[in-house]
């Protein structure tokens, strides 16, 4: 196996993926860089299932001997809201609604809720389908809580309202390298790197 094609068009994700999975003799491409266009319906009920759906859809469209394909799915689980928005994180309140509004709405739904009940986590699942048809999936999480107001300019999505106890700030207030060190995606990618060893 000397090539990985990752089912994302997101350049920030690709940078992190390359940083963590790169090794000599291994080429890592995004779907776009590999010239593949796929519209995949993510209708799974878990992050793992969605990552698998995407990875298998991509694997089907690639018949190259030494190529593995990978896909990720991620989102925010808020315990007090029965783990909402969960697999609907990107679609919560509609894809076109700004995160400023989504974040305000989530804070509003937690009005009056004490800190110990505001626990939340980012989750990332990464699925791989190998050239021999076998597959695996890894999961990484970062635990935190939902703050009382958005803060920070870094990151994206729900970062401004997701606070990490250890640093007493939101993940949007952490420098990107530090967030990658702690992040759900970083952890799932490092777990995948272990699975790739020796393949
Ligand atoms: P996807 O895995 O790229 O489809 O991301 C799903 C959604 O989860 C994103 O659109 C964000 O709303 C949310 N999300 C996933 N990871 C993060 C993160 O690290 N920070 C903030 N939001 C995130």
132 is catalytic: no
Q: Taking the CB of residue 85, how many other CB atoms lie within 10 A of it?
A: 19
Burial class of 105 by CB neighbour count within 10 A (0 to 12, 13 to 18, 19+): middle
96-133 pLDDT, tens per residue?
999 999 999 999 999 999 999 999 999 999 999 999 99
168-188 pLDDT, tens per residue?
999 999 998 899 889 999 999
The model scores a pTM over 0.85: yes
Determine the distance separating the centroid of ligand 1 and the alpha carbon of 25, expressed in angstroms.
30
Determine the distance separating the centroid of ligand 1 and the alpha carbon of 112, expressed in angstroms.
26
Q: Whose CA is nearest to atom 15 of ligand 1?
A: 75
* CATH number, position 140: 3.90.950.10
- pLDDT confidence band for 12 (50 / 70 / 90): confident
Q: Whose CA is nearest to atom 13 of ligand 1?
A: 75
The active-site residue, picked from 2, 43, 73, 96, is 73
Q: Whose CA is nearest to atom 8 of ligand 1?
A: 75
Determine the distance separating the centroid of ligand 1 and the alpha carbon of 180, expressed in angstroms.
13
- pLDDT confidence band for 11 (50 / 70 / 90): confident
Q: Is 155's C-beta closer than 6 angstroms to any atom of ligand 1?
A: yes
For the chain, percent of residues with pLDDT exceeding 70: 100
Q: Measure the CA–CA gap between 107 and 161, rounded to whole angstroms.
A: 8
25-67 pLDDT, tens per residue?
999 999 999 999 998 888 999 999 999 999 999 999 987 789 9
Q: What is the tally of structural domains in the chain?
A: 1
Domain range for residue 85? 3-197
Helix (H, G, I), strand (E, B) or coil at 41: coil
């Amino acid at each position: 196996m000397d090539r990985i094609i990752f089912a994302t068009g997101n350049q920030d994700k690709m940078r992190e993926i390359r940083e963590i999975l790169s090794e000599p003799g291994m080429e890592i491409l995004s779907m776009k860089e590999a010239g593949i266009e796929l519209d995949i319906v993510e209708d799974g009920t878990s992050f793992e299932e969605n990552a698998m759906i995407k990875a298998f859809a991509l694997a089907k469209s690639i018949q190259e001997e030494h190529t593995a394909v990978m896909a990720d799915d991620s989102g925010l689980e808020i315990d007090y809201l029965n783990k909402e928005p969960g697999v609907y994180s990107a679609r919560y309140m509609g894809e076109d609604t700004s995160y400023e509004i989504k974040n305000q709405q989530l804070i509003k739904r937690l009005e009056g809720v004490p800190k110990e009940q505001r626990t939340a986590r980012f989750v990332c699942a990464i699925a791989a389908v190998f050239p021999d048809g076998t597959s695996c999936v890894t999961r990484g999480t970062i635990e935190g809580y939902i703050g009382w107001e958005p803060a920070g300019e870094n990151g994206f999505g729900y970062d401004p309202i997701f606070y990490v106890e250890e640093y007493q700030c939101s993940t949007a207030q952490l420098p990107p390298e530090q967030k990658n060190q702690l992040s759900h995606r970083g952890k799932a990618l490092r777990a995948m790197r272990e699975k790739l060893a020796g393949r």
